[in-house]
Chains A and B, each alone.
Chain A
């Protein structure tokens, strides 16, 4: 996970999903290798807890480590967080798993109980709870390490990831030649079912439990017109407090100078960032000032009859055109990784 590979687009959220999917895949592979190649000797009843715990721990570690990498935390801090995440998610997954099976033991009886307790029975109905508990353990581990921030997305995301993993596992291994929902042609393959479990679980968890926060990015104004092309200024203050940056041709004191030849007024535009990292453009001049984005143009020219300047929220990729015709300057607003500051 590297913040420079995750530009501020909606696709950035898939970065963590792919990272966690790789971790889920590796977790399945590790358990399979332990069983098939290393011939590790544990009773059949432990297959479920061991696989659930391994995937849960690995995906939780991937999520925490991924975040730590994005934040460029010191190595010792990354190590501590990883250990903490692994320990918590592992313990909680085992506890949830046992708790679930304890409840199953109380709720079921007769042949249903025998089926539920058969560690060799390939069944979604009796395993669904185990998948859910595994996902919940994974989410809980991350939630604790992230100091209980975003509890709903962690717990619900974890639960959903585990359940989706279970559905993927079941569909990939369905013992039928029928096409499910007209889309999926199952492989009747319990080998690929395990891989599907790890990948689906990890991908869903990475996508749902924790999104890459805006605080890892900083807004910039960048000049696009030939004169002063490529000049750029950060909007955010180093302490992330509210800040306003000014653009104009006044030679002193402004944050970004643009030549008057390009139709820029002495004090033409300002861009504000508040303490919740929302960016806003304010038109300070009566000269043409436009914010352009896909299928939308916002005229920010100052209206003297109004008590306040006209403003519009900015999002990454917006263009700001100052002046018009031959005499005009063009800026872009772009969110770049904070590391670039």
Chain B
């Protein structure tokens, strides 16, 4: 009771100076509490909470409406703008829709479930620094096998994919982005640089020349060792250090294979499990290093997956033979048997996840090009996440949580307070199926017609009264006889 009395007194005193806890969002009736980024994550995920923060992030004022939080309660849509910060530095990030988990009041929002939908829209390419792409191409004997459909060998398909103009443009986009590529091949032992020398290719011509020199080297596929090398000792090579130039360029490793990790002729699928564990442990250590200098690892599998529909188990539990190979293939030999049936997509998925990247299992030149394009995806300065809920759930204060996993860890929580009593005009449906905030001027479409109707209706009584009197002859004189004037009364 005392609290309510205090609130009443505060109200009576007219201390309309707001509450520092809440920030009103222009153009809406919502207030937000200051977002709380997770402090124990690799990146700080900054959810923009005010125009000042959007301005500070150098977002153009025309885009501030996308940068600021927005809730459209008619359609059930919520929009939040955010960016990533490492240390004190703003960092760019590639598209990460699959790696972002959105929670609403502690429940994960799932695409397609109960009308829920999530979309992450990147904004403004990040032009700070560049990327050193280390392409680790399988050179084992199986790469010489010819595809029946295209008539090209696997190696030729890889070369064609790498020479696609859009792939080359992705590696060398020009402008402020200063990328470089290192091309390595692996079979047995340590991967070798294409051309014999470890050099960073910094222009398209050098790159095209190096791709031409890719060839089948023969031998077994020491994939795990090659990846371990590319994400470890290779980074200490002088040429790589020079190419990274301190931390101006981040490192992205793309490992391509057409089969299984295969050390010897007698290897079975289950033999790979302890080797995979060693690699995953190594990658886990790599992920714990400085977020600005550690490599990101993508894997590309060329061929048919041996375990279609494989989904990595949640958490970081050690891999098991049945998980990797499937029960029937645990003791199956790789060389000449499993390798001819498909590729080890399960291991590639686990490796990519541990390396903070994504796995792409593709067939043919076009599919490979897509995989390289995805691996060389540009980075963006900031993003907006949009999600759609049943509008019913947006009718009270709610917490929204964003969590990034994979490419790095980051998270932030924001508490949103929509007004129970008032709402701005509902959003306008755009071509992409999402709603964009409607102008305040739309309120005139409600106020003006209603106001006009009230004014018009206020004349109805007088109009009906006079019409009725006219119809019943009370107004018009019935004959032309002039009235006699006797003095009393008034004419009317």
Contact = CB atoms under 8 A, between A and B. Distances in A.
A273 interface: no
Task: Assign chain A's interface to a size class.
Answer: 35 or more
A41 B451 contact: no
A127 B454 contact: no
Most chain B CB within a 10 A radius of its CB, from A7, A192, A222, A254:
A7
A91 B13 CA distance: 11
Interface string B447-472: 10011001101111110111000000
A120 B440 contact: no
A190 interface: yes
B422 A31 contact: yes
A231 to B, nearest CB: 4
A47 B5 contact: no
Contact of B483 (A41, A195, A229): A229
B353 to A, nearest CB: 38
A221 B486 CA distance: 16
A19 to B, nearest CB: 7
A7 B462 contact: yes
A242 interface: no
Contact of A190 (B11, B423, B460, B488): B423
Most chain A CB within a 10 A radius of its CB, from B395, B420, B484:
B420
A25 B4 CA distance: 29
A18 B419 CA distance: 28
Contact of A94 (B11, B24, B473): B11
B12 interface: yes
Dominant secondary structure of chain B at its interface with chain A = loop
A296 B486 CA distance: 32
B461 A9 contact: yes
Interface residues of B, number: 72
A43 B27 contact: no
A237 interface: no
Given A230-B492, A256-B489, A9 B464 contact: yes
Interface of A: 4-7, 9, 11-12, 14-15, 18-19, 21-22, 25-26, 28-29, 31-33, 35-37, 39-49, 51, 91, 94-95, 98, 101-102, 105-106, 118-123, 127, 169, 175, 188-195, 197, 199, 222-233, 251, 254-257, 259, 332
16 contacts: A5-B458, A14-B458, A22-B455, A26-B447, A42-B19, A43-B31, A44-B22, A46-B11, A91-B12, A98-B11, A121-B397, A169-B421, A175-B395, A190-B395, A225-B478, A257-B486
Interface of B: 1, 3-5, 7-8, 11-12, 16-19, 21-22, 24, 26-29, 31, 73-74, 390-392, 395-397, 417-426, 440, 443, 446-447, 450-451, 454-455, 457-462, 464-466, 473-474, 477-481, 483-492
